[in-house]
Chain A
Amino acid sequence: MDKNLEPIVKNIQEKFGAALEEFREEAHLFLKPEQIVDALTLLRDESNFELLSALTATDYWPQTAPRFHVIYQLTSLEKNLSLQIRVPVNGDSPKVPTVTGIYASANWRERELLDMFGIEVEGHPDPRRILMPEDHEGHPLRKDYPLGYEEPQFSFNYDEIDLRKPYAKE
């Protein structure tokens, strides 16, 4: 871990009782959903993390408690530091509070969270799907959502697939 990052991490650990994981010089802090707004406000205002680089999630299905980790990747331009915050949430009715008030860029990223993982974002100003069509069912990036693989057509099975392929009409 970068030595400039250490006091910041220590501060968050003391204030919120966060667990710390390190891998290849990267620091990952684990917080609870209800702490995230306070923690990000603190990091932005006092430690110059002005940029929310990424906001996404990982699905650990079939594990259910916690099933998801919601991930906030922060960057400080002034101090040239990076920090990752992870928020574990459970599989049944996953929920995190919105951070759009802190970083405006979270708006679309949280819509993506809703669309792709079905994680509800409480207090989001515009909770619509962002990438998939409005009437789409399911959340594609969940592990229990199928990839949707179709059998490719080769010369040996050409006719068989040709028969059931839904060709468009004029």
Chain B
Amino acid sequence: MSQIEEVSIEKFKHLVSARALTGETMLLNMGPQHPSTHGVLRLLLELDGEIVVNCIPDIGYLHTGIEKNMEAKTYQKAEVMTDRLDYMNTMGNNLAYVMAVEKLVDLDVPARAQGLRVILTELQRIASHLVWLGTSGLDLAAMSMFLYCFREREQILDIFELVSGQRMMTTYFRPGGVWRDVPVEFEKAVRDFIKIFPKRIDEYESLLTKNPLFIDRMVDIGHLSKEVALQYGVTGPSLRASGVNWDLRKARPYCGYEQYDFNVPTRTEGDTYARYLVRIDELRESLKIVEQALNKLPLGPVRSENRKFVPPPRSEIGVSMEALIHHFKLWTEGFPAPKASVYSAVESPRGELGLMLEGDGGPKPLRVHLRTPSFDNLGVLSQIVKGHLVADLVAILASIDIVLGDIDR
């Protein structure tokens, strides 16, 4: 095992101000093990007393080699890797991946599967925002938020367990549809959630939104202007809080998002508080989409009938020789994809989650690139913390909602 490298100022000379070299300002290491960096992020801070002069993020402590590992697997098997990428948004990652595969091999998806995809990704968005709300509450010393948010999150995880058998790493969406149809209890579970959740959002808001301590810590902290946000490639709620109305669900509807009536919450202030408000509003909008999608959910098959890419159901294998052959071929060899590349993007709770998939004519991808939103969102951190207190840094970091698995891949 290699040793921890000693940090010498020589290496960071071009990144810190001249005052650090004379010892006038102090260099401080924050992380990789720190309760408020939300994982294993390391920040090198240059401090003038309590004021942050420079902030240099150091990432890679969770580098998992997902891109390389996906290249070594067939298209079906590579999907399990995407779950573990941004672990707050597992359904969304699956969606991005299966959409890229479907685009690459030109596969169509039945309407019921599309509806289920929408319901589950929106529930996942709610779950992800709940974790964000809980942990950022924790960072600002609102312990009860954490307990409340996880209470509701458990309910969503129970729904996921119902449909896929797993709480987090669901791998429920498959190229050409979903794994299998939802059980009968599904509708009731979702309806129960729709019924109680609006009251719960009001409860969170009554604890935080008008709370003077909370407002003091959030308003006018970490201002991110529209221009800087675009320059740094920030997407998602952080971009919308800076006044840019850009949501892939509206701009380039996929999975039939165009049928549903929802708003894209935007703010113009661009500070930490605005980012908080945008996410709270998104909770309500997502719930609206879930309800509409559930009401409209059509009956019918949940998987494409294209046997070149989609394995036949169990019931067919016993009676049809052809189905058996397809099953065998698909699970041993996989399906070939054309020698071309596609880029497909979805709106994850953190922003544009893009997937560049390049096939080489065989059953394994030649290259998978994951354009993960947190990577760029973290890049802007060093710009927006300058001049704030160290305590505010924690609030700002919480407000841009990073997930380290998403950054390091």
| A/B touching: CB–CB < 8 A | yes
28 residue pairs bridging A and B, Cβ less than 8 Å apart: A24-B106, A26-B343, A53-B345, A53-B371, A54-B369, A56-B369, A56-B371, A58-B341, A59-B367, A71-B356, A73-B371, A75-B352, A80-B251, A80-B252, A105-B232, A105-B233, A105-B376, A107-B379, A108-B375, A126-B14, A129-B60, A130-B59, A131-B60, A131-B408, A131-B409, A133-B60, A147-B65, A147-B68
B339-379 contact mask (Cβ, 8 Å, vs A): 1 or 0: 01111010000001010101000000011010100011001
Please give, as numbers and ranges, the residues of chain B lying within 8 Å of A73 by CB-CB distance.
Answer: 343, 354, 356, 371
Please give, as numbers and ranges, the residues of chain B lying within 8 Å of A161 by CB-CB distance.
Answer: none
State how many angstroms separate the Cβ of B102 from the closest Cβ of chain A: 10
Q: Is the CB of A52 within 8 A of B2?
A: no
Q: Which residues between 313 and 362 of chain B lie within 8 Å of chain A, taking CB atoms?
A: 340-343, 345, 352, 354, 356, 358
Q: Residues of A with Cβ closer than 8 Å to B? A: 23-24, 26, 28, 50-54, 56, 58-60, 71, 73, 75, 77, 80, 82, 84, 103-105, 107-109, 125-126, 128-135, 140-141, 145, 147-149
| Chain B, residue nearest A50 (CB) | B230
Please give, as numbers and ranges, the residues of chain B lying within 8 Å of A131 by CB-CB distance.
Answer: 59-60, 63, 408-409
Please give, as numbers and ranges, the residues of chain B lying within 8 Å of A140 by CB-CB distance.
Answer: 65, 68
Query: Given A105-B231, A133-B2, A134-B5, are A58 and B358 neighbors across the interface (CB < 8 Å)?
Result: yes
User: Chain B, interface size: which category?
Assistant: 35 or more
| Chain B, residue nearest A71 (CB) | B356
Residue among A26, A77, A105, A148 making CB contact with B244, cutoff 8 Å? A77
| Chain A, residue nearest B366 (CB) | A58
State how many angstroms separate the Cβ of B393 from the closest Cβ of chain A: 19
A82 to B342, CA, bound (A): 12
Q: Is the CB of A52 within 8 A of B233?
A: yes
State how many angstroms separate the Cβ of A138 from the closest Cβ of chain B: 12
A4 to B211, CA, bound (A): 48
A84 to B358, CA, bound (A): 13
Q: Is the CB of A54 within 8 A of B354?
A: yes
Q: Is the CB of A53 within 8 A of B354?
A: yes
State how many angstroms separate the Cβ of B44 from the closest Cβ of chain A: 12
A26 to B358, CA, bound (A): 13
| Chain B, residue nearest A106 (CB) | B233
| Chain B, residue nearest A149 (CB) | B72
Query: Given A51-B233, A54-B356, A125-B14, are A147 and B69 neighbors across the interface (CB < 8 Å)?
Result: yes
A104 to B343, CA, bound (A): 22
A71 to B65, CA, bound (A): 20
Tell me if B246 counts as interface (CB < 8 A to partner A). yes
Tell me if B288 counts as interface (CB < 8 A to partner A). no
Please give, as numbers and ranges, the residues of chain A lying within 8 Å of B230 by CB-CB distance.
Answer: 50-51, 77
